Amino acid sequence: MTSVLAIEIPWDPNITTIGGFLLTWHGLFTAVGILVGVQIALRLARATDVDEDDMYTLALVAVPAGIIGARGLYVIENWEFFSDNLGEIIAITEGGISVWGSLITGVLGAAAFAAWRGYDVRGSLDAAAFGMIPGLAIGRIGDLVNGEHLARATDWPWGVIYTDPDSPAFAHSIAVGAHHPATTYEMILGALIFAAMFPLFFRRLYRYPGVTFMVAAAAYAVVRFSLTYTRLDSAEVILGLRVPQVVAVVTLLVVVPIAIYWLRQGPDEERPEPRVPGRIPVVQAESS
C-alpha cells in the first residue's frame, strides 16, 4: 500500500568533521538530550528537596555509565559486524547505541553509587525519571535525521523515505519504499509519558518516593515492546521476541513488583509537598 504522505528525509547524517572528530546529527541530539535531561532532573530535585549536589554527582556517574552501556549492548546485538571491525566499537559519534543499555547501566550505576554514599535513592530516582524520558525523546530526533534504525514498510497513511546516499536507511528506502518512522513514534509517546508524569507525581505520588520512576520505566517498556514490531534492526532471541522486547519484559517484571511494594508501604507523611515551578504560595493573613 502506497503511503498517502511519504516524507522525504534529505539530510546528510554527518554534520562536519572537527580535528578528526566526526559530528553527526545522532551524536548532537544525543548530547542535547543528555544536557536537557540532567537540567530537568536538577530542577525536580530542587522542587522536592533532594540534595542538588547529590544529583550533580549522580549525573556524573549516570551519564558515562549510560554511554558505556548504550554502546555495549548495541555492540553485543551486532557482534557479527563488530567482531571483524573492532576499531568501530569506539566510533560512538557515528551512531549505534542501545537505549535500553543506556537506561540499565545508567540507572543501576547511579542507584548503586547513591546507596553507597547514603543519598536519597528513591527521591533521586523520581528526579531522574523527569530527566530520563525527555532526554530519550530528544535523542530520537537524531535518529529521525540519520535514519539509523530500519523499520518495516508502512501500510499506514504516512511514512519516511531517506534520499541521502550516506544515510543508513538509503538502500532500505530504495528496497521497501516508504517505511515507518519508528523512532519518531517513540519520541511522541515519550513526550506523552513525560506530560502525564507531572499530574501523577505532583498530585498523587510525591509521598511515595521512587514509584513515579517505576511507573515511567514501566510505561517506556510497554512503548518499546510495542514499537519493536515496526522495526527490523534487532535479532529474535526467544519465542519470536526481539532483544528490546525481552529487555522490556524483564524491566516490567522488575519495576512493577517494586512499585506495588512501595505503594503498599504507605505514604511518607514527613516528605514535604513539592514546590511546583510557577506556583505562587498562598499566605494566609494572621487574625488580629
pTM, two decimals, is 0.88
Residue 285 inside a domain? The answer is: no
Residue 275 inside a domain? The answer is: no
Which residues form the domain of 129? Answer: 5-197
Residue 277 inside a domain? The answer is: no
Cell numbers for 126? 523520581
Q: Please tell me the predicted confidence (pLDDT) of residue 284.
A: 40
d(CA 278, CA 62) in angstroms, rounded, equals 29
Residues 6+ apart with CB under 8 A from 70: 92, 97, 98, 99, 101, 102, 105
d(CA 239, CA 241) in angstroms, rounded, equals 5
- Strand 14-18, strand 236-238: pairing: unpaired
Q: Name the domain count of the chain.
A: 1
SS3 49: coil
Q: Is 283 exposed, middle or buried (0-12, 13-18, 19+ CB in 10 A)?
A: exposed
pLDDT in single tens digits along all 288 residues of the chain: 454 688 999 999 999 888 777 888 888 998 999 999 999 999 999 999 899 899 999 999 999 999 888 888 888 877 777 777 777 777 665 556 788 888 999 999 999 999 999 999 999 999 999 999 999 999 999 999 999 889 999 989 999 999 999 999 999 999 999 999 999 999 999 999 999 999 999 999 999 999 999 999 999 999 999 999 999 888 888 888 998 999 999 999 999 999 999 999 999 988 888 876 555 343 343 433
Residue 24 inside a domain? The answer is: yes
Alpha helices in the chain (DSSP H): 25-47, 52-77, 79-82, 99-117, 121-146, 170-176, 182-200, 211-227, 243-264
Residue 252 inside a domain? The answer is: no
Residue 247 inside a domain? The answer is: no
Neighbours of 116 (CB within 10 A): 8
Alpha carbon distances (Å) from 146 to 32, 106, 164, 192, 207: 16, 24, 10, 23, 42
